[in-house]
Amino acid sequence: EVQLVESGGGLVQPGGSLRLSCAASGFTFSSYAMTWVRQAPGKGLEWVSGISGSGDSTNYADSVKGRFTISRDNSKNTLYLQMNSLRAEDTAVYYCAKDRVILANAWFESWGQGALVTVSS
Amino acid sequence: DIQMTQSPSSLSASVGDRVTITCQASQDISNFLNWYQQKPGKAPKLLIYDASYLEAGVPSRFSGSGSGTDFTFTISSLQPEDIATYYCQQYDNLPSFGQGTRLEIK
């Protein structure tokens, strides 16, 4: 059974940094692309960033480009999202999701339970 | 960027009703379109992929159709457990979601 467990969320001041982790189990982690999707309180879903199975290819939404960095450690079956220069509008639940293939950011077939990030002074 | 426009934004229907949600893309995305269900406090769940293919284990009352810029998601007979918010998502380019349709029981 696929399991994705996010951690690292919390309260951070504007301009601060935070790193989210997503521990994966139940599948061959390196064989699948992974994605981060966020949801601001009471709002819809927003794709944030994606990474290929090998980690060689990454993509970002314009809203986070230059501030967020996605990475993965296939030896630890863990996905990361390093978030710098955080803003109030980054406040959201952040979900990691498993894709169906190794390269694309397309079919988000399994999701974690989410990690809440609150940016506030 | 490809914009996805869902309608309606909210919908109230009775148990047993046929429910239809539409999603329009700002440019041709072929069939690169998925539908998700999100229940309150839960993560989204993939229901339909590639516009019309039912994800394994999803009840057959759910269906999808369309290609190009116009897509439709249908629940043939609404059940109480279908109360949720539904999102379309394109993956022709960088992924993007529609704004969601909140479905309530009348």
Residues 6+ apart with CB under 8 A from B104: B10, B11, B12, B13, B83
Q: How far is CA B104 from the centre of its chain?
A: 15
Cβ-based burial of A9 (10 A; exposed 0-12, middle 13-18, buried ≥19): middle
A46 touches chain B (CB under 8 A): yes
Tens of pLDDT, residues B32-77: 999 999 999 999 999 999 999 999 999 999 999 999 999 999 999 9
pLDDT of residue B48: 98
Residues of A in contact with B45 (CB under 8 A): 111
Over 90: is that where the pLDDT of A103 sits?
Answer: no
**Closest-CA distance of chain B to residue A7, Å:** 15
Quote the mean pLDDT of chain B: 97
Residues of A in contact with B44 (CB under 8 A): 37, 45, 95, 108, 111
Taking an 8 Å cut-off on Cβ atoms, the answer to whether A95 and B44 are in contact is yes
Q: Within a 10 A sphere around the Cβ of A42, how many other Cβ atoms?
A: 5
CA distance A95 to A115: 7
Residues of B in contact with A107 (CB under 8 A): 34, 46, 49, 91
**Closest-CA distance of chain A to residue B99, Å:** 6
pLDDT of residue A104: 83
H or E stretch covering B104: strand B101-105
Tens of pLDDT, residues A41-58: 999 999 999 999 999 999
Angle, alpha carbons A30-A3-A81 (nearest 5°): 60
CA distance B99 to A16: 29
Residues 6+ apart with CB under 8 A from A88: A14, A119, A120
**Closest-CA distance of chain A to residue B6, Å:** 12
